[in-house]
Structure 1
Amino acid sequence: MASGEQHLHLSVRENDKEKLGELLGAGVDINCLFYGWTPLQVAIQEGNEDIGVFVIEKGCDYNFHDRHSVTPFEDAVNRNLSKIVGALISKGAKPNEPLSTGNLAVCVAAEKSYKELLQTLINGGASVNSVNNEGATPLYIASKEGHSELIQTLLNARANVNMPCEKGEQHTPLIAATAAEQFDVVKLLLKNNCDINAPDKDGWLHYGMPMGTMMKKV
């Protein structure tokens, strides 16, 4: 016969909030482990955001790490589950703490073009001018990757349009976008008054591309 804990985990997997509520009301532990996973972790793995938010609001332990030292917050960020991320932040998860990889949640959102997640993190207090373990800001990453739809979100949150990557060649977002031929991003950065004369650490501007040529392209 299946235990209450097994039934609880099954209700999470089946996205059955009513059954889950009944089991919790009957006293089944909201943090019970089944094959090493908590109900919250299962909800995140299954992508069941409503269930995940439900167990968070019921007071589950949101700091429980899996065997890879990944928190539910980090797992939800990587899976682009913005509702769960927002709920975790509201309960005390810290959006500016480095993930197990040394990366930052806002940088993951910028790299993968998770627009809703990025806004959720910003609303939750994530710093748009923080740098990851590679010295890059979210704006630098989004500029390099060509995610123009995220650029304005970051700039609206007061991202420093001229802040260079702290490591390597110390390229600015403008230099990174130009080098990658992301001309929609270049145009947006120019409209937001980026410094066209900010060089990299060797004094180079835009990889030698004449500004007139670049302006014609954008």
Structure 2
Amino acid sequence: MKMADAKQKRNEQLKRWLGSETDLEPPIIKKKKTKVKFDDGAVFLAACSSGDTDEVLKLLDRGADINYANVDGLTALHQACIDDNVDMVRFLIEHGANINQPDNEGWIPLHAAASCGYLDIAEYLISQGANVGAVNSEGETPLDIAEEEAMEELLQNEVNRQGVDVEAARKEEERIMQRDARQWLNSGQINDVRHMKSGGTALHVAAAKGYVEVLKLLIQAGYDVNIKDYDGWTPLHAAAHWGKEEACRILVENLCDMETVNKVVGDCSFSFNHFTILFKI
């Protein structure tokens, strides 16, 4: 994702949220005067978005998860940052919100504030321990996606003050995955945990991001090259979709199924077309 697209992408996410289940009041069914029980997490997100702190406190007292995330992995804290609602940002953090919780694409709340240019929110997040070296799925730190000069200056100064090694941070995920894959290979036991919402595995991540050495180690350890996530995507779908040619070659060489269809025909078609272009078949 290019830096110039970052804010637009978050704005599109916000537009998708408007009118979604988290934005709507619980529907009422007239039959027998009963109400449909709305998802507790969705109700919590809606209360936070409306700025109703009294209702939010009631929901928290009843056991609501302050770090509940929607289908995109956005928490109430992410949303408050996108909405430029500094009061709600403060309220949520004061009541225990995870300041560094990533969404499905690895964006922490500081990424959101940085991309939107909300300096006061970014300053507050940093003062409360936000990780200025956090790297999203595209390998970008909050500084990378900041577009306004004041935001860039704030984040650069903090990176310098903390002595953050940005390049090392970019490689940290791959380093950890390589370490784990080697341990699984040596022990003869794979201890991977699927992503809670997507069902993605370490093999999907390695394929999608082109972590070639990790991919090889996982396959050596006995990982199923045709394992599917909850949408039916195999590692080959992921590698082809993100244009990781070498990952595609490794999977094909290890006899992955090239004809597997996922649950989203459009995505599958795009991935396979991309795959045929990469391999000129």
- TM-score, with normalisation over the residues of structure 1? 0.54
Deviation at 1:102, TM superposition (A): 3.1
Deviation per CA, 1:51-97: give whole Å up to 9, x if none: xxxxxxxxxxxx9416xx86321211232333322332233211112
Quick one: which of 38, 49, 53 aligns to 1:65? 38
Q: How many residues align?
A: 138
Partner Cα distance (1:72, 1:158) in 2? 28
Alignment-mate amino acid for residue 35 of structure 1? I
Following TM superposition, the consecutive aligned residue runs of length 4 or more in structure 1 with deviations greater than 4 angstroms are 194-197, 199-202
The answer for the alignment partner of 1:91 in structure 2 is 62
Root-mean-square deviation over aligned CA pairs: 2.9
DSSP-derived class of the 1:95 partner: coil
Structure 2 residue 109 is matched with structure 1 residue 143? no
Judging changes above 3 Å, is the alpha-carbon distance between structure 1 residues 176 and 133 closer, same or farther for their aligned structure 2 residues? same
Unaligned runs of 5+ in 1: 1-32, 38-62, 203-218
- Provide the residue aligned with 2:159 in structure 1: 193
Distance in 1 between the 2:141 and 2:68 partners? 24
Matched-pair contact (CA < 8 Å) for 2:72–2:103: no
One-letter code aligned to 1:198: V
Task: Find the aligned partners of 2:158 and 2:61 in 1 and give their Cα distance.
Answer: 32
Describe the shift of the 1:70–1:198 C-alpha distance in structure 2 as closer, same or farther (beyond 3 A). Answer: closer
* TM-superposed deviation, 1:196: 7.6
Superposed counterparts of 1:7-18, under 5 Å: none
Query: Which of 124, 127, 143 is the equivalent residue of 1:174?
Result: 143
Q: Is the 8 A contact 2:80 2:86 kept in 1?
A: yes
> Are the equivalent residues in 1 in contact too, given 2:133–2:164 (CA < 8 A)?
no
Structure 2 gap ranges (5+) = 1-25, 31-35, 172-281
Instruction: Please name the residue that 1:13 is paired with.
Output: none
Superposition deviation, residue 171 in structure 1: 0.8
TM-score, normalisation: structure 2 = 0.43
Structure holding more helix per residue: 2
